[in-house]
Chains A and B, each alone.
Chain A
Amino acid sequence: MNAVFTVAAHEFAAIYERRVFQIITVAFPLIALIGFAAVWFIQNANDGDDGGASAAYGYVDMAGAISGHLDQGRVRYRPYTTFEEGRADLLSDEIDKLFVIPEDYFQSGVVQSFSIDSGFQFDGADSSMRSLLLDNLIAEGAPSDLAARLKRPMSAVHVSLDSSGAPNEVNAPRVFFFLALAFLLFMSLVTTGGFLLQSLGQEKEHRVMEVLLSSVTPARLMIGKILGLGAAGLTQMMIWIAAALILINALPWLFPDLDVALPGIPQTLLAIAFFILGYMLFGTLLAGLGAIATTTQEGQQLSMLVNLPLIIPMYAWYAIVENPASLFTKVLTFFPFTAPIVVFQRLGPGAIEAWEVAASLLILALSVLLAVFIVSRVFRAFLLSYGKRPSIKQLWAALREG
């Protein structure tokens, strides 16, 4: 077991000593910050811009917070006295969105928004409602009990309605949070996986492999490398998340809904489980490819076979979040190569059944075991094959013989 940790520690240090890895780890939060800031500025610029498509939003004001200012740029607000009236207009497409300002709004700041889509759209509706509330709060002369609301006029809770009008609450900031985690996991898997392949390729090219194999079994070498890779990836993710939290606290105007974005403990534990199993599956398969590849370059090319499925949910994120119960999304949820990313994407809107999570986790865990079983045999058989890629027949023989 010591050899496993020695290899893991060596791999961890080797990955972190790479200049490219250091640059990616440091640069990524900076690039993300620039991206968020750009989106914020564009969104705020658009709020005062009348050039976009016009929209009609409804509201039910139970707190007496809105008395005027119903024209907000491209958005025209329509008042309703009851939720049922507003919902009827929403279902008949008379309005695009319905906001409900509850009686305790001045204390809680909570405003519900209803829509017949997933409630997850870049339509600037929340900003528009914030603007309407601020205009009204300021017009009221802002007495002392409104001071808190002036600082933070609205905490949005989105509710989507199905065709029968049944509600389904959507927490958009949390959706974003999990989408960001899914993206970070994708980035981390691709970058650290690439380094694992490079490490194996260089050990073969520089003939270190045979010296290593006289000191450690192929299975322990493989497990040590995967653990080192996983630890490097997890550390990278922690650095990114820590950087994000620091930025969020330093720049609250960029992330106004952080408090409703953070997931609960069960979701966090699930996310960690998928994260670790995802790393183990991809790390194991990449180790196998590294063993049969004759050069580092060939290993990188072969890694596309493993990385390609990862890209599907990254491209299809909107379809997954918009239709979390579709057949396409369900297939990706149970397919082990896409499961870690897709489950993250579905955890955000909370549109995933408990049995789906359990089944996906089970399939992923079984896939990891199968991958370890297969790859450990391939790894042992072909680590010392220099300059000649094994044939399918040889691979099959290695799997049978063990």
Chain B
Amino acid sequence: MIHTAAGSFVAEVEGVRKSYGAADAVRDVSFTLSPGEVLGLVGPNGAGKTTTIRIALDIIRPDAGRALLFGEPFHDGHRALIGYLPEERGLYRGLTARRNLQYFGTLKGLTRADAKSKAADTLDALGMSEHADKKMSELSRGMGQLVQLGATALHGPKLLILDEPFSGLDPVNVRMVKGLLSRMRSEGTAIALSTHQMNQVEELCDRVLMINKGEVVLYGALDEVRSSAGQSSIFVEADGDLRGLPGVARIHDRGSRVELTLEPGGDRRRALAALVERGADVRSFQVAAPSLEQIFIEKVGAAI
């Protein structure tokens, strides 16, 4: 049994580099992950997120730097403590959901009897009991996704690494998975969440690691990251045309509110005055740190 000493990290990656031919997939990437913490791993496609995860899990070896799990270099005993849901994922299509879970449970070190009972419990918790003995090829994409998540969490891992865990899920299942993650987090499981959905990072994560072109461009607590970006956003609840306001560079619809991103040196008072002059019905006007999505676009320079 491996215990994480008080104050030590579940995962610690230091200055890793990995090249394929002449191209660097990742360069000098570092981060830590503590028990009960959720780290958001964000970046555009091809940024190096998957390579970073594979290095942390010893699936590939770095050319430089090191990765520690539970305070020590990766060793075989760690596999039973990890749950990994890769982006490119699948289960045995010719096997039933139950047998898939049992197989991956025994691979993670559970006895056959434990794997059998935990597979049944997991399927029950995911609302999949009635589909337990259907082949994976007979399940819908969303159901398959739930079974896949079940296979990742079945053995009670201390470190959970999830790459786009919500893709393919309907809102009901998204809520169910969020509940599962919240429960595991409260039990001390460290979670690394790689996703393109910034609202989910803002909702679920304590800290964020942003990678672009193989390099870390942002790393820290979510609040710090946002506040360090300056008070350059205005969240407005208003009816009327918001286009062309003075000093406003971009407009983003955020559901019930609209985020106005100010130009460098832009004056929020001029923007408010212009709104009032247009006769817009302004119900709220809040100056705030920019959203993570806004920061992402500014740092990465690409649309999500």
Contact = CB atoms under 8 A, between A and B. Distances in A.
A6 B76 contact: no
A215 B79 contact: yes
B79 to A, nearest CB: 6
Q: 10 closest A-B pairs (Cβ-Cβ)?
A: A214-B84, A207-B90, A206-B90, A215-B107, A210-B86, A207-B88, A6-B106, A208-B90, A213-B59, A207-B89
Interface of A: 2-3, 6-7, 10, 14, 17, 202, 206-208, 210-217, 384, 386
A238 to B, nearest CB: 25
Nearest to A18: B94
Nearest to B95: A14
Contact of A2 (B84, B85, B109, B152): B109
Contacts of A384: 54, 59-60
Contact of B91 (A17, A208, A215, A217): A208
Given A6-B103, A211-B91, 8 more contacts: A6-B106, A6-B107, A202-B92, A202-B93, A206-B91, A208-B92, A211-B90, A215-B108
B138 to A, nearest CB: 14
Counting chain B CB atoms within 10 Å of each CB, which of A210, A213, A216 scores highest? A210
Nearest to A2: B109
Nearest to A6: B106
Chain B interface category by residue count = 20 to 34
B82 interface: yes
B9 interface: no
B69 to A, nearest CB: 12
Interface string B69-83: 000000010010010
B13 interface: no
Contacts of B106: 2, 6
Contact of A214 (B57, B90, B103): B57
A212 B104 CA distance: 8
Interface of B: 54, 57, 59-60, 76, 79, 82, 84-86, 88-94, 103-104, 106-109, 148, 151-152
B107 A210 contact: no
Contact of A211 (B76, B86, B93): B86
B222 to A, nearest CB: 27
23 contacts: A3-B79, A3-B107, A6-B107, A17-B94, A202-B93, A206-B90, A206-B91, A206-B93, A207-B86, A207-B88, A207-B89, A210-B84, A210-B88, A211-B86, A211-B148, A214-B79, A214-B84, A215-B79, A215-B104, A215-B107, A384-B54, A384-B59, A384-B60
A14 B91 CA distance: 14
Contacts of A215: 79, 104, 107-108
B103 A10 contact: yes
A392 to B, nearest CB: 14
Contacts of B84: 210-211, 214
Nearest to B151: A211
Contact of A212 (B82, B94, B107): B107
Contacts of B79: 3, 214-216
B172 to A, nearest CB: 25
Contacts of A14: 92, 94
A208 B88 CA distance: 8
A384 B50 CA distance: 12
Nearest to B93: A206
Nearest to A401: B61
Counting chain A CB atoms within 10 Å of each CB, which of B92, B93, B103, B107 scores highest? B107
A211 B104 CA distance: 9
A38 B76 CA distance: 57
A197 B103 CA distance: 20
A380 B107 CA distance: 18
Contacts of A216: 79, 107
Contacts of A208: 89-92
Contacts of B88: 207, 210, 386
Nearest to B103: A10
B43 to A, nearest CB: 19
Nearest to B20: A394
A262 B84 CA distance: 54
Contacts of B109: 2
Contacts of A3: 79, 107
A14 B100 CA distance: 12
Nearest to A210: B86
Contact of A210 (B59, B76, B94): B59
A210 B58 CA distance: 11
B91 A214 contact: no
Nearest to A394: B21
A197 to B, nearest CB: 16
A294 B109 CA distance: 30
Contacts of B85: 211
Contacts of A210: 59, 84, 86, 88-89
A207 B76 CA distance: 22
Nearest to B58: A217
B19 to A, nearest CB: 11
A214 B89 CA distance: 12
A235 B107 CA distance: 24
B20 to A, nearest CB: 9
A14 B103 CA distance: 12
Nearest to B104: A215
Contacts of B90: 206-208, 211
Contacts of A2: 106, 109
